[in-house]
Structures are given as C-alpha cells and as structure tokens.
Amino acid sequence: MKGAVITLVFGFLAFLLVGWNGICAQEKLVIRIMDYFVPTDTLAPHFEEVFRKFEVDFPNVRVQHEGLESADFRTKLAVEMAAGNPPDISYVVVGLSWEYGEQGLLMNLAPVFEQEREWRDTIVPTAIKAFSTPDGKIYAVPFVAQIGGLYYNKNVYERAGIAGPPTTWDELLEQVEKIKKVGAYAFVTGGKEWRYAWFITQLLVRTAGVDRVYQLARGSEVTGWNKPENGFIDALYLFKELIDAGAFPEGLNGIPRDIARMMFVQNQVAMYYEGSWKVNVWKNLGGEDFLNNSVGWSLFPAVPKAKGDQDGMVGGPVHGWGISAKLDETKKPLVIELVKRITSPVMAARFLENAQPVVVKVDESVMARLHPILLRQFEEYNKAQKVALPTDVICVPPVDNAIKKIAVPGIVDGSLTPEEAAEEVNREAEKYFSAKQ
C-alpha cells in the first residue's frame, strides 16, 4: 500500500501549501471593498475599470472587490462588522453608518472633509447634512439617493380598463378590484427577502407624517411604535386592507424579489412601489421598449382618512461609502484615494445612467440624457416639502428587522393583528434602547 501512504503524504503537503499560500499572498497591500454590485451587475465592469487603473497607478496594491447579492450583503456586512473586522470600504446605508460609526468601526470623515474641501464640494450639501450626526460627525461618503414612487404597468391598466394611476386611496381600492377581475394582481414585492420597507414607510408617511417618522426612528418616539397616535398601527391597518382586498398574490411572504420583478415585466402585476433603481431593472428585465412604452410613474395616492402628510414622499440620500476606522496610517491615504475615484463625476454619471440618483454634482449633459421617468422623479423630489427616508435606512437594525421581518409578514399571512405587530416592533426598540443606556 505504498501508493496509499504516498497519496496521504502528498495530500498533507498540498494541504500545507494551500494554507501557506494563504499566508504568503500577503505581500501586496489588499484593499477590501464590499458592496452589492455582483459581478453580473451592469455597474460591475465600471468598478473593475476603476480598480484596475488604481492597481496600475499603485502597483503594490491589490483591490479585492466582494460584490454580494443584496440580502446576503446585508447579512455578511453585519457579520464582518460584528467580527470587528470591517471591510476597508463598504457600501452602507446612512442609518448603519451611524450605527457602525458609533461602535468605532467606521471612520469619522468630518476631519477628512475639512482637509479635502474640493472633494467635499463635489457632494450636494443637503446630502452631507443628511448623513451627519447631530454633533457633526459623518461616517460615510454620501453617494446615492433614492426616490420612492409608484411604477405602474400600462399594459395591465389597459387590460383592466383603468385610465391612469390612482390619486386617492379609494380610487386605489377600486383599481384593485378591476385588476383582480382580469386575473392580475395590483401589487407585488419580494416577500422572501422581506422587501417591505419602502411600502410601509410610504404608508407611515400618510398616517403619521414625515416628522413623526423621524421621531419614531431616531428621535423622541423611538419606543412609541405601539402608540396609536404615532400612526404605525394605522399604517399596518392600511396594509392589511390591501392584503384583505387581494391586492397582493398569495404566498407573498415566499415570493422572491427576482420573481416579483418578473411578474411586473410579464404583465401579471399592475403596480410596484419602490425606489429609483427599479427603472434600470425594468429596462434589463423587460427591454427598452417595455420601459419606454409600458411603464409609468406617479406619486403614491393620498389617503384622506389618514392624519399624516398626504403629499409626503419617501426617499433621500440613502447609500454612501464607509471607510474602516481600523486602517493603519499607510493604508489610509490609499483607501481615501480609491473612494475618491469611485465617487468621481465619471462614476457618478455611470450610476445615474443606471437609475441610481447620485448626490454628486454632475454635468448638465449627463442629466439631459437620463430617462424621463428619472427626470420626473427628480422634479417631484426637488418640489417636495416633506420627504422621509425609508425605515430600512434610518431605523436601528433590530427595529428595521422587526418591521420588515416580523410585523409586516405577520400582517401578510394574518398571524398578527396590527396592534400585535406594532407591539413586536416596540419590544425590539425597547430592548435595544434600554441596552444602550
């Protein structure tokens, strides 16, 4: 059995080699950047271009790009942060940037911006303000904003004999009935990945108002989710109305986001409420013709019986690039340089072309080439007096999770009443904020 022994020894050597290799490959300086731009994303090649050029300009550096699928990315980032091992650069939402910044995991960029005024001035001032904490610290470079609205499928509307998007809640309910009659659904979303945040925030804006939303997420009402006067229970009741009216497909809690999008593109669903990036999704999944001819956009209908802001929108500066606070002095300037490059006007233009509104100032010519729907969104956003950020951006993680993974799914499958659901969310809020004291 000499053969066996040789194989075993050989294997062991291979083993040592692989392990060793892992250690030896450290001669180059590695910059790790983590986001949700997977290799097949339309923006991925642009990132690659920037990275390769960076590696040419700085030959002792290797850029390791970890683009993970959205739901995975949120989990993985949380895990890495928890491990105290933040990626050098990470694509964070503003709420998380505050969370991680306070934990000392993300670098406070205020001093950096002080020094690099030129860079800072390329970013829209309201975005910097939105990303800053009350005491002036800022833990991510603001980059992308989103604007929420109602996308509607003109083909389905035609089939159902509907002229245009609803302007009031009652109109919406009427439309739900007409749409059901032709065998389609009024709304859909990726229930499997708990993509409820935008919708529920919009309802909350209607029932509680933009200011109250902020108070619930970060301000004086952080543990007031279960109080009727704060409107969250009403928002859940509105959602329940839609569920009971059959506006969503059955088994919503199990529908994957990809399938939900496909249903919209396949003319099985009339409306889809989410942010600006969906414009690009409709183009990729349904083709340019579909986007240009069959997709419309409008603001969410008013809910006269609700006590909040009937013209309030959901959106604002959402994503930014966070830099690890644990960088040593040699790495810091390199990382900052890389971040500057991925937020350059060129990259900003690319993002815009992919329906990701940026908060970086871009050339007029770029703006002119954008899709009319996007331009309309910008118009409405700039006009709007009241805008709230969605709950998955602004709330602390346990509360965000409680809303989208416990409360809303419970309403969807009827296992929770709105009061119970609000109670669940509040419980998480109380647990979190009491631990903080």
Partner 1 sequence: MSLRGKRQELIEVFGRIPLYLHTLLLLIPIGWMVVTSMKSLQDLYTNPMGLPTQWHVGNFIKAVQVGRLQIYFKNTLIVEVLTLSCTLLVASFVAFVLSRFRFRGREFLYLFFTAGYMISLHSVLIPLYEIARSLNAFNNLAFLSLVYSAFEIPFSVLVLTNFMSQVPKEIEESAIIDGCGYWGVFTKVVMPLSRDGILAVATLVALHAWNELLLALVMLNNPSSRTLPVGLRGFFAEHLSQPTLLFAAALVVSIPIMALYALLQERFVQGITLGALKG
Partner 2 sequence: MARGKSSWRRRQWVWILLFLLPGITLYCSLVIFPVISAFYLSGFRWYGFGEKIFVGFDNFRRLFLSRTFLLSLSVTVRYMLINVPLQITVAYVLAYLLYRKVGPFKFFRFVFFMPCVLLSVVVGYTLSVLLSPWFGVGALFKTLGLHYTNPLTDPKLALYGVIFGDFWQWLGIKIVLFYAGFQDLPADILEAATLDGASEMQRFTRIVIPLTWDTIVTVTTLLLIGSLRVFDLVFIMTGGGPNHATETLSIHLFNLAFDQMDFGAGSAVAVVLFLISFLFTVVLRRVARRESLF
- Tell me which residues touch partner 1 (CB under 8 A): 1-2, 4-5, 7-8, 10-12, 14-15, 18-19, 22, 34, 38-40, 64, 66-69, 71-72, 76, 79-80, 83-85, 256-259, 261-262, 266, 285
Assigned token pair, 216: 């619930």
413 lies in the site for partner 2, by CB under 8 A: yes
Q: Rounded to the nearest 5°, which phi and psi values hold at 58?
A: -125, 85
Q: Identify which of residues 3 and 134 has a Cβ nearer to partner 1 in the complex.
A: 3
Contact residue for partner 2 among 241, 243, 398, 423 (CB under 8 A): 398
Contact residue for partner 2 among 250, 288, 379, 419 (CB under 8 A): 250
Can you tell me the distance from the alpha carbon of 380 to that of 277, in angstroms, rounded to the nearest whole number? 16
The option from partner 1, partner 2, none interacting with 434 (CB < 5 to 8 A, set by class) reads none
x/- track of binding to partner 2 for residues 88-127 (CB under 8 A): ---------------x-x----------------------
66 lies in the site for partner 2, by CB under 8 A: no
Helix (H, G, I), strand (E, B) or coil at 48: helix
Can you tell me the distance from the alpha carbon of 397 to that of 391, in angstroms, rounded to the nearest whole number? 10
The option from partner 2, partner 1, none interacting with 11 (CB < 5 to 8 A, set by class) reads partner 1
Strand runs (DSSP E) across 78-134, as ranges?
89-93
Cα-based distances in Å from 28 to 23, 51, 209, 331: 11, 15, 52, 12
Q: Identify which of residues 6 and 82 has a Cβ nearer to partner 2 in the complex.
A: 82
Contact residue for partner 2 among 167, 182, 415, 419 (CB under 8 A): 415
Can you tell me the distance from the alpha carbon of 278 to that of 261, in angstroms, rounded to the nearest whole number? 9
Q: Identify which of residues 86 and 148 has a Cβ nearer to partner 2 in the complex.
A: 86
Helix (H, G, I), strand (E, B) or coil at 297: strand
Cα-based distances in Å from 124 to 120, 148, 316, 361, 372: 9, 19, 12, 7, 22
Can you tell me the distance from the alpha carbon of 386 to that of 373, in angstroms, rounded to the nearest whole number? 20
Half-sphere exposure of 231 (CA within 13 A, CB side): 25
Q: Identify which of residues 186 and 373 has a Cβ nearer to partner 2 in the complex.
A: 186
Tell me the closest approach of the beta carbon of residue 11 to partner 1, in angstroms: 2
Cα-based distances in Å from 331 to 31, 52, 109, 328: 8, 18, 15, 6
The option from partner 2, partner 1, none interacting with 253 (CB < 5 to 8 A, set by class) reads partner 2
Q: State the sign of the Cα–Cα–Cα–Cα dihedral 274, 349, 380, 184.
A: negative
87 lies in the site for partner 2, by CB under 8 A: no
262 lies in the site for partner 2, by CB under 8 A: yes
Give start and end residues of each alpha helix (H) in 245-344. 257-265, 278-289, 331-342
- Yes or no: say if 268 and 208 are a contact pair by the CB < 8 Å rule: no
Q: Identify which of residues 331 and 427 has a Cβ nearer to partner 2 in the complex.
A: 427
Tell me the closest approach of the beta carbon of residue 51 to partner 2, in angstroms: 28
11 lies in the site for partner 2, by CB under 8 A: no
Can you tell me the distance from the alpha carbon of 390 to that of 217, in angstroms, rounded to the nearest whole number? 10
Contact region with partner 2 (CB under 8 A), list: 54-62, 75-83, 134-142, 333-341? 75-83
Cα-based distances in Å from 69 to 38, 39, 116: 6, 10, 33
Q: Identify which of residues 39 and 304 has a Cβ nearer to partner 1 in the complex.
A: 39
Contact residue for partner 2 among 259, 325, 346, 362 (CB under 8 A): 259
Q: Identify which of residues 83 and 163 has a Cβ nearer to partner 2 in the complex.
A: 83
252 lies in the site for partner 2, by CB under 8 A: yes
The residues of the shown chain that bind partner 2, judged by CB under 8 A, are 75, 78-79, 81-84, 103, 105, 191-192, 250-255, 259, 262-263, 397-398, 401, 409-410, 412-413, 415, 435
